[in-house]
Amino acid sequence: SSTSKRIQPGSCGRGRRGEGKAEVAMARARSARAIVHAAGRAFASQASTRTVAMEGNAARNAGQASKAAVWSALGVTAVGFAAWMPLAHAKEQEADLEQVKKMICQVIEDDPDMGPTLVRLAWHTSGTYDKTTGTGGSNGATMRFTPEADFGANAGLHLARNVLEPIKKAHPQLSYADLWTYAGCVAIEEMDGPTVAWRPGRVDKGPESCPPDGRLPDGEKGGPAGTTQHVRDIFYRMGFNDREIVALVGAHALGECHTDRSGYKGPWTRMKTTFSNEYYRELLENTWTLKKWNGPPQFEDPTGELMMLPTDMALIWDSDFRKYVEMYAKDQDLWFSDFAKAFQKLEELGCDMEKPWW
């Protein structure tokens, strides 16, 4: 069997490590200027807006002596380094994960906006898990089929699935389920985020294993109280606590909403392809008012350039959520650590991994 390769930090991609602080500083400067300009325009026009209150309530027993070499060679591959933990299943043929990583990095190099989309694919393929029934989750990669591919929450994710097809063809021994989750981890690190430990072992399943619709979060659920409860219902169903919820939702630092997909419009931060704690800072330090438009309920900052969903606002409406928002806004390293653990847990829910670390 082939040997798992250690993947070293900076071995591929745009080499963006270290650029994050400069980008954060520039984004904050742009944000401040934009808010000042917007305030001036609002004063001049005497426009009135209703300010929303910001407070609120390798292998499992790989064999005997003949397999000893496999056991010593295989481990859990972490994006950027090797973390040695048992695999779910030893495979006689392993994908060259270093080469897979390079190909994923090239995808992001060619189209930086694909980085957030790959993270969303990994999130949505994993976020259907139900701890009560043991169904859903990343194991199976059932978003390849209808009805899951057509769920409203998955609109636009065909772009990420399609762009990964050449990688799957080049490495057929890697399951779709492993490829999609691995791509999410690579994308996070490539966008200056934390290293998320990842290990293979997922298998692909058929359309009969598609989860029911409605297991992924909606943007709002009928007012602050209903929306806050909805957030908890979705994540508690998977087995997460409040701290893990706030850590995971911080991935909204990436990407933006599109009216032709979710119905919502705009980015959460001014650095939509950089993984940073700006999402939490914007939630706390910006002013959010209900957007006046013909679309679904969402909030906008004074410039009209940034937006938050009602489910984002729930993190500061609810005091138990808010304390973690405040923690992560002050300490990016703490958030990175918490996010990496929670995202690994998310990607492994429902998978046949040996003795989950959590």
> What residues are labeled active site?
124, 268
Number of neighbours of residue 37 by Cβ within 10 angstroms:
12
CB 356 within 8 A of CB 139: no
**Rounded distance between C-alpha atoms, residue 114 and residue 110, angstroms:** 9
C-alpha pair distances (Å), 162 with each of 21, 152, 159, 180, 203: 33, 18, 5, 11, 19
Q: What is the DSSP letter of 131?
A: T
SS3 call for 151: coil
What is the CA 267 to chain-centroid distance, rounded? Answer: 15
**Among 272, 274, 282, which Cα is nearest to 328's?**
282
**Rounded distance between C-alpha atoms, residue 216 and residue 157, angstroms:** 14
**Among 198, 199, 202, 179, which Cα is nearest to 107's?**
179
Number of neighbours of residue 89 by Cβ within 10 angstroms:
17
| Pairing relationship of beta strands 299-300 and 307-308 according to DSSP bridges | antiparallel
**Rounded distance between C-alpha atoms, residue 292 and residue 58, angstroms:** 55
322: left (phi over 0), alpha (psi -120 to 50) or beta: alpha
**Rounded distance between C-alpha atoms, residue 338 and residue 358, angstroms:** 12
CB 142 within 8 A of CB 224: no
